[in-house]
């Protein structure tokens, strides 16, 4: 019965987001303008649907229930995206085997060598897994023609800092060392992720440069970069736009222990005093109605000031979480496809 309810729910969700634009505009309500930006109409309708459904905020639930809710929400938003092949694998780490999933796009399913994106999911270091970001990884792989290796790193509060950082670094090193086994060019390995995964990717890129491990590119999608400074966007968008203050507070309180320093550069990468030479070029993506917008853009400017090649792309009408909305609507899927095209240009131009 649960399966049928889920199927019906998914169909209704797709239908609601697939209505003609003029109908969606009327249903969404008057255009919302804040900080000189207009909220994307389908996104405004999505937020209204969430309120109408009385969907409880994830942070208000017990953590196991919140994790289940996130899997359900991302499955609805992501849909079922095509992919040439997927394979669940285990990656050895000092803490034990880590689950991972390798996505091979149709373009290279014959074994052709490609670039690789080591993908680190978001979720505040508390939520998220291989399934919450499955749809996005499929779309990135297919559109960019790159293999994607998603890592299921340890989560807080069961495993506090630096468990997630250490797992992601171990997984990244393993991917580079086993590039030939993965049919990957070791000089075209990138790291990337969204939100918490963007933060973890930034740390991995810095570790790679310091250790002399190849890293061709870093894809940072609305990364959390600063746990010390309260930015203007954190104040402006702290409620009503999916990612809220309660979630952010729960995330940092779960991730950091009493003795951990929020100003540690491996916790707040924005506070890195000196970036290593040969730090990988970065694409930093932000959303206009996201509490994390300003710190992501500040980090992009900090990288640029340090001489790191950076492209900053803001999607002014979107909210935090748009990277997972690839199975419904049009605007967010088009944005993720655009991001995939930039990834392709960076590490897979000939495929």
Q: Which residues are catalytic?
A: 195, 290, 320
Provide CB contacts within 8 A for 111, sequence distance 6+. Answer: 183
Q: In what order do the strands lie in the sheet with 114-120?
A: 85-91, 98-104, 147-151, 114-120, 184-194, 217-221, 282-287, 310-315
C-alpha–C-alpha distance, residues 209 and 199, integer Å: 16
Whole-angstrom CA distances from 171 to 125, 174, 329 are 16, 5, 34
C-alpha–C-alpha distance, residues 133 and 115, integer Å: 20
Local structure of residue 226 (DSSP, 8 states): -
Local structure of residue 280 (DSSP, 8 states): P
Closest by CA position to 119, among listed 351, 336, 350 = 336
């Amino acid at each position: 019965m649960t399966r049928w309810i889920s199927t019906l729910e998914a169909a209704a969700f797709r239908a609601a987001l697939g209505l003609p634009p003029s109908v969606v505009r009327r249903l969404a309500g008057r255009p919302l303008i804040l900080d000189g930006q207009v909220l994307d109409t389908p996104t405004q309708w999505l937020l209204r649907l969430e309120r109408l459904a009385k969907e409880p905020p994830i942070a208000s639930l017990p953590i196991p229930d919140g994790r289940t809710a996130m899997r359900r929400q991302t499955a609805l938003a992501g849909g079922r995206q095509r992919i040439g092949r997927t394979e669940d694998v285990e990656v050895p780490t000092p803490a034990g085997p880590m689950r991972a999933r390798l996505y091979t796009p149709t373009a290279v399913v014959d074994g052709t060598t490609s670039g690789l994106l080591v993908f680190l999911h978001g979720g505040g270091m508390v939520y998220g897994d291989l399934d919450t970001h499955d749809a996005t990884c499929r779309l990135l792989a297919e559109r960019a023609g790159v293999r994607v290796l998603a890592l299921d790193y340890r989560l807080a509060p069961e495993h506090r800092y630096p468990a997630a950082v250490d797992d992601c670094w171990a997984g990244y090193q393993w991917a580079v060392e086993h590039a030939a086994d993965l049919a990957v060019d070791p000089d075209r390995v990138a790291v990337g992720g969204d939100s918490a995964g963007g933060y973890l990717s930034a740390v991995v890129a810095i570790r790679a440069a310091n250790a002399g491990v190849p890293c061709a590119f870093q894809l940072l999608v609305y990364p959390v970069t600063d746990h010390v400074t309260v930015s203007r966007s954190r104040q402006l968008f702290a409620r009503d736009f999916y990612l809220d203050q309660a979630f952010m507070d729960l995330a940092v309180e779960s991730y950091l222990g009493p003795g951990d320093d929020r100003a540690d550069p491996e916790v707040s990468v924005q506070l890195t005093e000196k970036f290593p030479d040969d730090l990988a070029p970065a694409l930093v993506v932000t959303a206009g109605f996201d509490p994390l917008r300003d710190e992501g853009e500040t980090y992009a400017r900090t990288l640029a000031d340090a001489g790191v090649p950076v492209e900053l792309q803001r999607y002014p009408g979107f909210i935090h979480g748009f990277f997972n909305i690839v199975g419904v609507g049009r605007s967010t899927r088009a944005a993720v496809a655009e991001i995939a095209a930039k990834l392709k240009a960076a590490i897979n131009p000939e495929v």
